[in-house]
Chain A
Amino acid sequence: MTLAKDEVQKIILSSLLLIGLLYVYFSLLLGPLKARENRALQAQKAIEPSIAAAQTQLAKVQELEAKAPATNKTVEQIKALVPEGAPVAWFPPRMNDFFKRHGIERCTVRMNNEFPDKEMPGFRRILWAIDLPRVEFVPLATAIAELENEEPLIEIMNLRIETVLDDPQFQRAVLTVSSTVPL
């Protein structure tokens, strides 16, 4: 079968139209669509780790906060042991009362030093000198043991017991005590 001239022209025209159609389809329709899809996929890949990290962070904080009430309760219980006001106003009378309860009448308390606690923000440490000029050994030892039991925020750093020359029955005791108090 031989094609007539006009038929050949029509085939060429159809081919040109097909090429045009393919060009339009791939360049103007499918190409931008694929590029947009790729961009979206890349953006998804970029955002996924951030979302996962944020969710992990939230879960971690929730877990921490779930444990926090127990911790806070302990700290609050400990803080409740500390009266309101300046320690210099309440600590010496408190020690006086404590030693009086243990039969030690004379007690002098003075503040030696005060500094912020580097290990515990929000707290400070105060060093006190507690002078008990006339005590007997056993009541003193009993009082010290009970002081250590009753006052968890107190730590005795130095303890000096010396004889009283004019009264051998008694001793003089000087305690250097560190107390932890909230700022």
Chain B
Amino acid sequence: MALHLNLNHEIQKQRRQRRRDPLKLGMLALLVIGAGFFFYYFVRLSAAAKVTATLAQMQAQWQTLEPQEKEAKAREEVVTLAQKTAETLIARIEGRFYWGPVLELVQQVVPPEVQLTSFEGDYSKDLKGRGIIRLQGISAGPDPRKVADDLRSNLQAKFSDKFNPAVAKFGSLEDGPKQVQLNGKSVATAAFNITLELSHGETVAPPSVPVRQRRKIGP
């Protein structure tokens, strides 16, 4: 066996020492960790940039929307006011108290034995949606008080169909001083004063034209 001399052992030893140099190994480890951190930092940076970009986009959107919102609020007030005005106007028109049907009913109810001398009708918001009609007149017949009372009850019945409830009350009912001729006979008279209260609900009687028929209001 030939003698083998290693004359490079010193060089090899130095090389081994360099290979396991802690500083070098540490630097390598630091480099690896640093690279990982660097990568993670860029991942986070990218995420943060996305969030910032979204925020910038939202701020830009808000800057556009804010004046539009202010303008919209102002427009809303105007439009709402106009709408409310229109609704009130339409409700007022549709909720009017119509006197045409009232006069038609009065004309239908008053018999030939009765002459009205005065008709007064009131309807206003002060009356809280009620119509008040005051009728004055003279009834004639063998029993003029009954004629007047029949008129009162007929008024109440007829008007209750359209204005539920309608209440007719006598303000006064007195015997008349004179006798009058009715159908060729001399009959007694009574002077009456009837108040008719009508409720004006949501259902409004449509206006109609009274039937042409002669009915006098007069003594």
State the A residues within 8 Å of B (CB): 3, 7-8, 10-11, 13-15, 17-18, 21, 25, 29-30, 33-34, 36-37, 40-41, 43-44, 47-48, 50-51, 53-55, 57-58, 60-61, 64-65, 67-68, 71-72, 74-75, 78, 119-123, 137-138, 140-142, 144-146, 148-149, 152-153, 155-165, 168-171, 180
A144 cross-chain contacts in B, Cβ below 8 A: 99-100, 103
Binds A, one of B6-14, B73-81, B151-159: B73-81
Distance between Cα atoms of A93 and B169 in the complex (Å):
39
- Chain B interface residue count: which class? 35 or more
Given A148-B98, A155-B96, A171-B217: A75 in contact with B86 (beta carbons within 8 A) = yes
Q: Among B57-65, B141-149, B177-185, B186-194, which stretch is in contact with chain A?
A: B57-65
**Secondary structure dominating the interface of B:** helix
Task: Tell me the minimal C-beta distance from A28 to chain B in angstroms.
Answer: 11
A18 contacts B216, CB within 8 Å? no
Beyond A145-B207, A161-B217, whether A71 also contacts B23 by CB under 8 A is no
Contact of B86 among A7, A57, A74, A169 (CB under 8 A): A74
* A30→B82 contact, CB < 8 A: no
Q: Does B5 contact A (CB under 8 A)?
A: no
Chain B hits for A30, CB < 8 A: 40-41, 44
